[in-house]
């Protein structure tokens, strides 16, 4: 649904997710799959976003193959390795192998500088989640989209979308 909404057309679908999968099993699948992808595609740079296990391990495989790494949402920190778990450790380990740090906020940039990363490797980008939300709102407000989208038309029957809507994103496994 998200891929369709944002009009993303993946070139490769790995189909890694399974119900009740452990992080260990997911990790081994990611490493094996991304190694095959990189051997086939031979990228000059790999750009990962976020602090997921998928982002970290994809970058880790790129590191093993000496491929440059760009990290979108770099520098976010709690400095508590268990909160959020395992994302905080993913963030910190990912930073160690990243070549280009795309920091969403000034405080994320400061974290990276405080940790000793070269300021030339840090680019302040803004928040991609906010950008995606603004793009989505514009798309929803586009009359042509509303007219074409059965899902949105059905939503209008349930919710008055002309009123303010609160968007909550939740993505914790727990």
Percent of the chain residues past pLDDT 70, beyond the cut: 82
- Tell me the pLDDT tens digit for each residue of 72-121: 999 999 999 999 899 999 999 999 999 999 999 999 999 999 999 999 99
pLDDT value at residue 154: 62
pLDDT value at residue 8: 87
Reported pTM: 0.79
Enumerate residues 6+ apart whose C-beta is below 8 A from 99.
Answer: 45, 68, 69, 70, 121
pLDDT value at residue 42: 97
Ranges of the chain whose pLDDT falls below 50? none
pLDDT value at residue 118: 97
Q: Which residue has the tokens 């380990």?
A: 93
pLDDT value at residue 17: 85
Question: Got the DSSP string for the chain?
Answer: -HHHHTT---S-------TT--HHHHHHHHHHHHHHHHHHH--SEEEEESSSHHHHHHHHHHHHTT-EEEEETTT---S-TTTTTTHHHHHHHHHHH-SEEEESSHHHHHHHHHTT--GGGEEE---HHHHHHHHHHHHHH-HHHHHH-HHHHHHHHHS-TTS-----------
Which long-range contacts (C-beta less than 8 Å, at least 24 apart) are formed by 146-154? none
The set of catalytic residues is 171
pLDDT value at residue 92: 97
């Amino acid at each position: 649904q998200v891929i369709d909404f944002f009009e993303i057309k993946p070139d490769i679908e790995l189909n890694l997710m399974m119900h009740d999968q452990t992080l260990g099993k997911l990790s081994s699948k990611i490493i094996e799959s991304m190694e095959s992808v990189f051997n086939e595609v031979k990228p000059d740079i790999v750009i990962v976003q976020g602090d997921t296990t998928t982002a970290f391990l994809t970058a880790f495989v790129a590191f093993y193959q000496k491929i440059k790494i760009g990290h979108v949402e770099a520098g976010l920190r709690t400095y508590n390795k268990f909160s959020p778990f395992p994302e905080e450790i993913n963030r910190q380990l990912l930073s160690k192998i990243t070549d280009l740090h795309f920091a969403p906020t000034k405080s994320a940039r400061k974290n990276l500088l405080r940790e000793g990363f070269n300021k030339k490797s840090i680019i302040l980008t803004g928040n991609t989640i906010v950008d995606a939300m603004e793009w989505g709102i514009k798309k929803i407000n586009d009359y042509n989209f509303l007219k074409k989208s059965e899902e949105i038309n059905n939503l209008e029957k349930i919710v008055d979308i002309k009123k303010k809507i609160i968007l909550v994103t939740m993505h914790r496994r727990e």
